[in-house]
Amino acid sequence: MGSVPLPDNETERLQLLHELDLLDSGSDELLDRITRLVKELFAADIALISLVDEHRQWFKSKVGFAEQETPRNISFCTHVVASGETLLVDDATQDPRFVDNPVVTAENGIRSYVGAPLTLYDEYHLGTLCVISSKTNHFPAGTKRVLELLADWVSTTITDHYELNNYLAERDVLAQGPVCAVVWRIEPKVQLSYVADNAIRVLGYEPAYLLRDDVSHESIVHPDDREELLARMQRLIDGEQAYLEMDYRVLLPEPKAQGSRWVHHFARADHDKQGNVIRIRGYLLDDSKGKNLELELLESNKNFELALAAGEFFTWSWFIPDDQLMVSHAWSLLLGYDAQKEDEIDWQSLLHPDDKNALRTQLKAHLHGDTERFDVRFRLRHVDGHYVWIHSVGRLVERAHDGKPVRMSGIHHDISAQVENEASLAQQTAVLELVSHVQHEFMLAKNFSDVTDYALPKLMQMTASAFGLVGELPPQSHRRDMLQIHGLEVLGEDNANSEYHKLIQQGLEVVVSGDVVRNVLLRGEPEFCHLPVSRLEMSFTPVTIPELRNALALPLYFKHDVVGLLVLGNSTEGYLRWHLNLLRPMLDTLGTLMHMRRLDEERQYALEELRRMASVDELTGVANRRVFWHAMEERYEEFMRYQVAMSVAVIDLDHFKSVNDTYGHAAGDEVLREFAKRCKAQLRDLDLIGRLGGEEFAVLLPYSDVTEASKAIERLREHVAATPVTHDDKQIAISLSAGVTQLRSTDAKLDDWMARADEALYQAKESGRNQIVVVPEPN
């Protein structure tokens, strides 16, 4: 007989065959009628609709034949599947391919055969429509064509059933999910004609209300968004746009309710044969949380920009190939030029001649990689002729594929006022260098602790102090009796300073007491203490500070609000009023950076929350389907490289629909949340739990073979079954069914692995539920 022929796309063909769920299924009246018609039409002994899988041909419909399946290696039909061409055999005893086939050599064996391929989607030959006789038969002309037409009928029927089932399943998923499907009719007026059952969850309105003739969809839309929605819908109806996609607010249905919820709206038009719009189909998604986070992030970014402006920081980006400099401010703010002629300003032509070489040298050194950052001071000519001092810091942030520099970014600010006083230039320069350093380090690294570690010893050195402390008030603090310590230094006490640093890194907070320090925080005025300071005047519990012979306590401001405190003590020179003027730029900088640190933390929190929403199932807190599949792909690739054991379990909560029907959807949601908690408690930290949809979950168990994985899932099953879920003082008994399988080297793709787990889950449910079915490893 020779080897069994295989089509080129055998793997994909088998995947489709199993996905159709036709194997080992019940009878189909239409297919049975076609089979009877074929037998009578060809006057054959047997007519079959066969489906060929890895090892057998299984008969979806049969007439004149008792067996339900036969081995693939003796099947005539497998030749049709391999070639995709109709096979016609007049006398099998004379055909070299079949002369020794047991179904031919047997008594009353096959003599004649005609089989036409069942082809889906033009390339997948799943089986045949065939007729068989125990007598030789010289088939008349046209036999092949007639059978092929009937085979096309069978293929079309199978395809239609498959696509209809997919449509119904998709519609059911939508009805249970966060997306509400709606349909508008166009005539005689634009009116909703279909609203999915989950409208109450997505929009807050019952479908029956939205379908009333006296209710229009726009009536529930916020007045500020209504006109735009109507205009876009009209453009869609008029054919001016291919689709509609927008966000808008939906009013809450309660008469006295305040506020609204955000909806993401996507819609397309259906057309008749003449191209006229006959209906609009749409999908509405409750996007309130994501939209609110987006708005909060935008507001945080605006506040961040305002904080930059308040501290007189300006950002810049230089696109080197085009020599285009983009700045975050108008040149008129610094140089007095007409804001309407911003694009005409050539900043390089305004450079002071004495500063050009220094700037170019610094720039060249940084672009060549000789310096970590570009850091330079230079002067630019004001419109009235005098020069403005600028301090600019930046870094190269982008290179082309060939290594050439593309873009630099940085910050700069006007330092003219600080350098005007020549009499105190040396000391002022030291302060300004410190200000510039901490400003730029914070802007580039966003680490306030590092800024304080650097700045506090410098401030102590400038004022000949032996003690220094920097603290920040909590946001929206009114009592002013608590500080978060960012820096604490005692000159010569290295061991104590190391312990202080560890505590600060852990988030050291102290209770403030004493008249001196409380007055600074409450009234916002500096306190000069020329005599020793007692514990009753200044203390920071639980930290014990050294005895202070003298002290200077200064408020840190952002705009007009006290945000923190700087304390310097034990100066060998004492503290004078001019110290306040000397340190004011640093005080303002520290206050501004404290405020910016808070804004940056708020912005980072909003970003992290957006990322979390994109990767976590909102109801249960476990991984969502997208993240779970991504992890599966990574483990699949790891297995294929290193052959380490990987197992997966697909889990379904038994009779979950009855929980919703009996106790309500709130109870159903609580069951899902509680189940997720139990999974996390029972499984390892490295096991990944994902929600695939509805009550279906999956667990990825890395580095576990099927025996270890099945023990873990069985332990979970026993725990779930033994412990009811409590909701509204009601005990809800739950159980689970699961399919467990191990990844194999023969799995050509990820779906092969999951398909085994799905099949095992199906067996568990068919066998009575509340059990797991384990797919053993092949021998």
- Active-site option among 472, 537, 674, 695: 695
Query: Environment class of residue 498 by beta-carbon count within 10 Å: exposed (0-12), middle (13-18) or buried (19+)?
Result: exposed
d(CA 178, CA 173): 9
**H/E segment holding residue 192:** strand 191-195
Q: Which residues are within 8 A (CB) of 83 and not within 5 positions of it... i.e. 6 or more apart?
A: 5, 7
Which candidate, 265, 298, 259, 297, places its Cα nearest to that of 282? 265
* Alpha-carbon dihedral sign for residues 540, 544, 550, 552: negative
DSSP assignment string, 288-322: HHHHHHHHHHHHHHHHHHHHHHHTT-EEEEEETTT
**What is the rounded distance in angstroms from the CA atom of residue 80 to the CA atom of residue 106?**
22
Q: What's the Cα-to-Cα distance from 94 to each of 86, 99, 108, rounded to whole Å? A: 18, 6, 16
Helices (H) and strands (E) in the chain, counts: 22, 30
Q: How far apart are CA 542 and CA 608, in angstroms?
A: 33
Element housing 676 (H / E)? helix 665-682
Q: How far is the C-alpha of 266 from the C-alpha of 190, rounded, in Å?
A: 17
Three-state secondary-structure class, residue 673: helix
Pair of tokens at residue 61: 């419909």
Q: Which of 147, 157, 160, 156 is nearest to 37 (CA)?
A: 147
Angle of helix 577-615 versus helix 425-445 axis, rounded to 10? 10
3-state secondary structure of 357: helix
Taking residue 58's Cβ as centre, other Cβ atoms within 10 Å add up to: 21
Q: Are 575 and 530 in contact (CB under 8 A)?
A: yes
Which amino acid is it at 431?
V
CA angle 472, 588, 569 (to 5 degrees): 60
Q: What share of the chain is helix, strand, coil (3-state, %, to 5)?
A: 45, 25, 30
Instruction: Tell me the backbone φ, ψ of residue 248, rounded to 5 degrees.
Output: -150, 170
Dist. CA 456–CA 448, nearest whole Å = 12
Phi (first) and psi of residue 545, to 5 degrees:
-90, 160
Question: What are the strands of the beta sheet with 467-472, ordered from one edge?
Answer: 527-529, 551-558, 561-569, 467-472, 482-490, 509-513, 539-541
695 part of the active site: yes
Kindly state the tokens that stand for 320.
């080197």
Largest CA distance in the chain: 124
Measured between alpha carbons, how far is 321 from 406 in angstroms, rounded to an integer? 6
Do 95 and 75 touch, CB atoms closer than 8 A? no
Q: What is the spatial distance between Cα 535 and Cα 512, in angstroms, rounded to a whole number?
A: 11
Buried b / exposed e along 453-483 (16+ C-beta atoms within 10 A) = bebbbbbbebbebbbbbbbbbeeeeeebeeb
Q: How far is Cα 40 from Cα 47, in angstroms, rounded to an integer? A: 9
Question: What separation in angstroms does the CA of 259 have from each of 341, 526, 606?
Answer: 44, 46, 21
Q: Which positions are catalytic?
A: 695
